[in-house]
Chains A and B, each alone.
Chain A
Amino acid sequence: MASGIKDKVAILGMGCSRFGERWDRNAEDLIVEAFVEALADAGIEKNQIQGAWFGSALEDLHVGKSGIPLSITLRLPNIPVTRIENYCATGTDAFRNACYAVASGACDFALALGVEKLKDTGYGGLPQRGRGTVNDLTIANTSAPGSFAQLAAAYRAVHNVGEADLKRAMAHVSVKSHANGARNPKAHLRNTITEEQVLKAPMVASPLGLYDCCGVSDGSACAIVTTPEIARALGKKDLVTVKALQMAASNGLESQYNDWDGSHVVTTRAAARRAYREAGIKNPREELSLIEVHDCFSVTELVTMEDLFISPEGGAIRDILNGFYDADGSIPCQIDGGLKCFGHPVAASGLRMIYEIYLQLTGRAGDRQRHDNPRIGLTHNLGGNPAQNVCAISIVGLEGA
């Protein structure tokens, strides 16, 4: 029976552009910005890369379809380039494919790169995407905040939580991420905010106010992966290896069958169970050093703490308010600012999360570096809406961790 790819793939180099409103840059420029950093970090020649997976989720806004834009931009040597689109899980999915290529022996060096250029629409927030002509006939005209806001209504009903208590915990999530983003020079939003500001902000989709929503950004991030053996042969020390890569896609049960209560995300739980098994993690609350999760909205981060089995069901509010997930807490969550403040260039986000874990594990996270010898980190992406989505989880750690 398949046991996964634990420790079969090492991260050789990573790069990440500055995220934000990059008015003066095309997507192609952002790709190069991230790639140059990763290639230098990896210490190999571009022509050694044997396969690439290119993530772009809203490609109509920038590079267009197929893998060709990446190949042209980086002048890759006619290697296979596959374009990946899987909503907000795109970046992690590209990483997963590159890692599988290495683990299978198909490639010695593989590239995963995600890019998004969202600030060319003329307005704020994610643009509405096509959902298919059949879905358009029936599905409500939703937005991303409106889709995730419903988690709050259902969570309150299921756990019998007052509106003010939930709003306060959600506010803490955002205040914490802003404090973290302020210490990250590549982050989109670097201002600190107060709980009062969050609670008084204009409503976007009830009960989510402006500060409950993440930024929409331009940016790119990438990883070059290889085998631990090759990495060592190249002189790399303190290797960061992949412990688990798991994804789960909704099958319509949440949105069409009768038993999901709307207060949690089914796919996160499924992917987390499998990821912990693959990584050999028995007790995530004790074993994980830090996490980067899909905090597209404050309430998403809140329920994800339970769906990852770190906070007990119904217990996320208490953990959040106790500072368990703060930068100096037991398991910092979004120590780089998260989607909330680092920013959310959709297809780059999963790789940006892995980038932060990679920096923290190798002691290169600058002002925001954890000093408790982080050994293992988890990243989590969620694409779609709570009722119908794709979840991607990666666990990466020091070799031997």
Chain B
Amino acid sequence: MTKVKGLPLTNTGILSFGGYIPRRRLQRAEIAKAHRWYNAGLGRWARGERAIANWDEDSITMAVEAARECLKQVDTQDVSGVWMASTRFPFLDRQNAGILAEALQLRGSFTTLDISSSQRAGTSGLMTALSASAQNPILLAAAEKRRAKGASASEMTIGDGAAAFLVGSGPVIARYMGGCTHPVDFIDHFRGEDTSFDYVWEERWTRDEGFMKIVPASVKKLIEQTGVDPSSINTFCFPLGDTRTAASIAKRVGLPETSVADNLQGSCGDTGSAHPLVMLAKALETARPGDRILVTGFGQGCDALLFEATNALADRRPPLGISGHLERRTPESNYLRYLSHNDLITIDRGFRAEVDKPTSLTTHYRNRETAQSMVGGRCNKCGTVQFPRSNICVAPKCGAIGTQEPYPFADRTGRLISFTADSLTFTPDPPSYYGLVQFDGGGRLLCDLSDIDSVDDVHVGMPVRMVFRVKDYDTRRDFRRYFWKAVPVELAAAGHQET
């Protein structure tokens, strides 16, 4: 994946990409309906739906899903960086990209980096990764599980999602033609270190003084720098505002009217610092060789990046990508459940929720291959695979001691042997689904099931795949523990497995 002979070193670009949008889509009309008594003005946004993460998803877990898709089609041996961009990192002091790398079972020597503090985190991260990956590729995942106050305009427009890019030189699917930043400390919103929610200034001002002035300045700089004729640009990704704003910007800098990309406000919502990358991924899913894609990220200034799709794109499109994940949707009309999952309402969760969930950090560290990477064991004497690894082989006719080699389970599919929908045990989203999964190729695990809507959708023999999710929230210490859960292999995702 590194240098290909004959190509100039400057020939960096995108080697592969992936996307992730959570399944549930909160119907905006339901949000507006709930708040009509308080703020009837929200009705102007009451169209379409926004993607909302499940209770066990956060920016890291969504980044993992996007990155798994991105890395599916490439060799990861020479990855030189695992970077993550977000303004909603689960941890402020514990590297989030490090958790991403462990979940991806990446081992070896590479940089890990969290990029944050601006809605430009995704684009700035991508730009920096592109300039640092000439020798060896870098993975950048941008993800955001967003939060907003109830009855705010943001609550209507935000969405959750992720995109991941492997960038470097070599047989790129989109050549990086250049990028630039126009930094301005323009504060359309901010969030301090001790607050949960954004403080937002008037949107008309943001549009007139921010979007309409700062974005064109940045794009013009990029056009000058690359010498590209703006009318040759096929797709313009501007993540914010309404389509009219993007069209006005396009007009001001000479981009074709047809280049303005759908910012997914109707189907997904604004995924924050991940959104420019979500839009870039979406654009690449349908781009033809030679297409030029302009991506902008806005936040205390503006990033602008230009890509040109190559012939290699057709072979390396992700199985689902953003489009496939957008199609894989479950409409959600239960606004109260959304409030509950996002701690926006105080729900009596019952005595069983009081069980303390501390994590022994020594135990966690010792067992992190098992828990975070889902690596089990394979007996080098009899070949039996098992989860978790143990000193003594589980095969009754073997029982060899100390013969277990690491055997990854995260990408194995399996089938349910048994299951239940448990209304007694504590879960933020009752009932709790769990069952015994028999993995194809051997090994089994009694594990949580996620993304299930009804017990009628579950049956013995049902095919499942594993996803990285939050297992437990330790609210007392603000820690969270991740593990893998089984989700149904859907028709769309079935193709996902075959690649």
B483 contacts the other chain (Cβ, under 8 Å)? yes
Convert A137-164 into 0s and 1s, putting 1 for each residue whose CB lies closer than 8 angstroms to a CB of B: 1111111011101110110110000000
Interface residues of A in 9-47 (CB under 8 A from B): none
Q: A253, B396: Cβ atoms under 8 Å?
A: yes
On chain B, the number of residues with a Cβ less than 8 Å from chain A's Cβ atoms is 51
A373 contacts the other chain (Cβ, under 8 Å)? no
By a CB distance below 8 angstroms, the chain B residues around A204 are 422-424
Q: Select one of A139, A151, A253 contacting B446, CB under 8 A.
A: A139
Q: Select one of A139, A153, A203 contacting B418, CB under 8 A.
A: A153
Interface residues of B in 351-372 (CB under 8 A from A): 351-352, 355, 357, 359-360, 363-364, 367, 370-371
B113 contacts the other chain (Cβ, under 8 Å)? no
Q: A157, B394: Cβ atoms under 8 Å?
A: no
Nearest-Cβ distance from residue A177 to partner chain B, whole angstroms: 20
Q: B363, A141: Cβ atoms under 8 Å?
A: no
Q: B442, A258: Cβ atoms under 8 Å?
A: yes
Q: A143, B367: Cβ atoms under 8 Å?
A: no
Q: B444, A205: Cβ atoms under 8 Å?
A: no
B298 contacts the other chain (Cβ, under 8 Å)? no
B434 contacts the other chain (Cβ, under 8 Å)? yes
Q: B448, A122: Cβ atoms under 8 Å?
A: no
B431 contacts the other chain (Cβ, under 8 Å)? yes
Q: A256, B418: Cβ atoms under 8 Å?
A: no
Q: Decide: A154 near B394, CB < 8 A? Known: A123-B352, A133-B360, A142-B422.
A: no
B263 contacts the other chain (Cβ, under 8 Å)? no
Nearest-Cβ distance from residue A136 to partner chain B, whole angstroms: 8
A235 contacts the other chain (Cβ, under 8 Å)? no
By a CB distance below 8 angstroms, the chain A residues around B431 are 203, 205-206
Q: B395, A262: Cβ atoms under 8 Å?
A: no
B407 contacts the other chain (Cβ, under 8 Å)? no
Q: Decide: A150 near B419, CB < 8 A? Known: A123-B351, A253-B396, A257-B395.
A: yes
Q: B435, A150: Cβ atoms under 8 Å?
A: yes
Q: Decide: A258 near B434, CB < 8 A? Known: A133-B363, A145-B422.
A: no
B328 contacts the other chain (Cβ, under 8 Å)? no
Interface residues of A in 315-334 (CB under 8 A from B): none
Q: Decide: A256 near B350, CB < 8 A? Known: A138-B388, A262-B436.
A: no
By a CB distance below 8 angstroms, the chain A residues around B394 are 252-253, 256-257
Whole-angstrom CA separation of A257 from B426 in the bound complex? 28
Q: Select one of A136, A138, A153, A257 contacting B420, CB under 8 A.
A: A153
By a CB distance below 8 angstroms, the chain A residues around B419 are 150, 153
Q: A137, B483: Cβ atoms under 8 Å?
A: yes
B460 contacts the other chain (Cβ, under 8 Å)? yes
User: Whose C-beta in chain A lies nearest to the C-beta of B426?
Assistant: A141
B387 contacts the other chain (Cβ, under 8 Å)? yes
A134 contacts the other chain (Cβ, under 8 Å)? yes
By a CB distance below 8 angstroms, the chain A residues around B421 are 203, 205-206
B432 contacts the other chain (Cβ, under 8 Å)? yes
Interface residues of B in 396-437 (CB under 8 A from A): 396, 417-427, 431-432, 434-436
Q: A140, B367: Cβ atoms under 8 Å?
A: no
Convert A259-287 into 0s and 1s, putting 1 for each residue whose CB lies closer than 8 angstroms to a CB of B: 00110000000000000000000000000
User: Whose C-beta in chain A lies nearest to the C-beta of B460?
Assistant: A157
By a CB distance below 8 angstroms, the chain B residues around A252 are 390, 394
Pairs across A and B, CB under 8 Å, 8 listed: A125-B424, A140-B434, A141-B472, A143-B424, A146-B422, A147-B420, A208-B420, A256-B443
